[in-house]
Amino acid sequence: MTPRLEARRLVRRYGNITAVKDLSLSLGAGQVTCLLGPSGCGKSTLLRLLAGLERPDAGLIVADGVTLSGQEVHSPAESRDIGLVFQDHALFPHLSALDNVAFGLADVPKPHRRPRALAALEQVQMSHRAHASPGSLSGGERQRVALARTLVRGPAVVLMDEPFSGLDGALRTEVRAVTLEALKRSGAAVLIVTHDPQDALMTADTLILMREGEILQTGAPQDCYFRPRSVVAARLLGDVNVLTARMAGSSAVTAFGSLAVDRPVSQILARPEALVLSGDGVQALVVERRFAGSRTQLVLTSGGEIATGYAPPVGGPSPGDRVGVVLDPAACTGLD
């Protein structure tokens, strides 16, 4: 993959806070990268640095081999081939959806502006609302118009700050799908910043896990989820059981079962779905059962350790029952 945009060892300080610490990443054309981290970990700062809205204290930003930010270089935001979609959409309230999108094409001959804007609205399935004012659109529709306004210029890179926040349930899923399709079709290198694990797992080709200004792990969503490099990285993506492991030959033995490992480990990180209920497994006691819609969460104890597992939403064991558990190696990873 040839990177479209690269950050090399970026640093950004505010007083004695270092918001971005020696951070490197690269974004590939046609690829969606999601940056996931808790509030305050430096995601927006990184986005502003990449967009050129702020200057780094150290490090480089390079696009297609050209330095955009460096020690003596700072190309301003408006000269970068980068589209930024803000969280609040920032649409002009007195302009129609179409004119909001066309507004970004001031340098394009007038007769071409509206047809191009309409085509961009079509990409995000909003052409039927072209003449609506932003005030009469739903949050999800405004988000799609804001995306069209960015895509209409055909930027090489698109940066999105929490694009799905403020949208709930089915609407969020729908807007996410439309957005992803439009972004993929555009061929841009895309970076989406989010603090929502579900958004990140469902949209990313590559996931970057970030905490306190640093990258903890970069990889495919499945690898980050099932093969986290640390407990902290694992917890960014959801529940995880941290099981004490004892080596017996080439097996790691835990209170909830054993796993073959290729190197000595002292802990096994097991997602709840790794604890498979099976008659012939290690015997564990069900301590608690919580209905959670599409599945039921079980709290289990064995050998003095506690772990969370899942059972089907209907039926299944109750508190006080004993169940057999085996660990699914595909949903576990070992740590030294």
Where do contacts with ligand ADP occur on this chain (CB under 6 A)? 14, 17, 19, 37, 39-45
Nearest to 43 by CA among 160, 197, 151: 160
To ligand ADP, the closest distance from the beta carbon of 42 in angstroms equals 4
To ligand ADP, the closest distance from the beta carbon of 15 in angstroms equals 7
To ligand ADP, the closest distance from the beta carbon of 74 in angstroms equals 17
To ligand ADP, the closest distance from the beta carbon of 218 in angstroms equals 17
267 to each of 101, 106, 240, 244, 251, how far by Cα in Å? 52, 58, 12, 5, 12
> What is the 3-class SS of 45-75, one letter each residue?
HHHHHHHCCCCCCEEEEEECCEEEECCCCEC
To ligand ADP, the closest distance from the beta carbon of 7 in angstroms equals 14
Nearer to ligand ADP, 43 or 113 (CB): 43
To ligand ADP, the closest distance from the beta carbon of 12 in angstroms equals 8
Nearer to ligand ADP, 20 or 82 (CB): 20
Cβ neighbourhood burial of 281 (10 Å; 0-12, 13-18, 19+): middle
Nearer to ligand ADP, 59 or 334 (CB): 59
What's the CA gap between 139 and 145, in Å, rounded?
A: 10
Nearer to ligand ADP, 23 or 265 (CB): 23
Q: Are 184 and 33 in contact (CB under 8 A)?
A: no
Q: Are 308 and 272 in contact (CB under 8 A)?
A: yes
HSE value, Cβ hemisphere, 13 Å, CA-based, for 329: 8
Nearer to ligand ADP, 31 or 45 (CB): 45
Q: For residue 34, which amino acid is it?
A: C
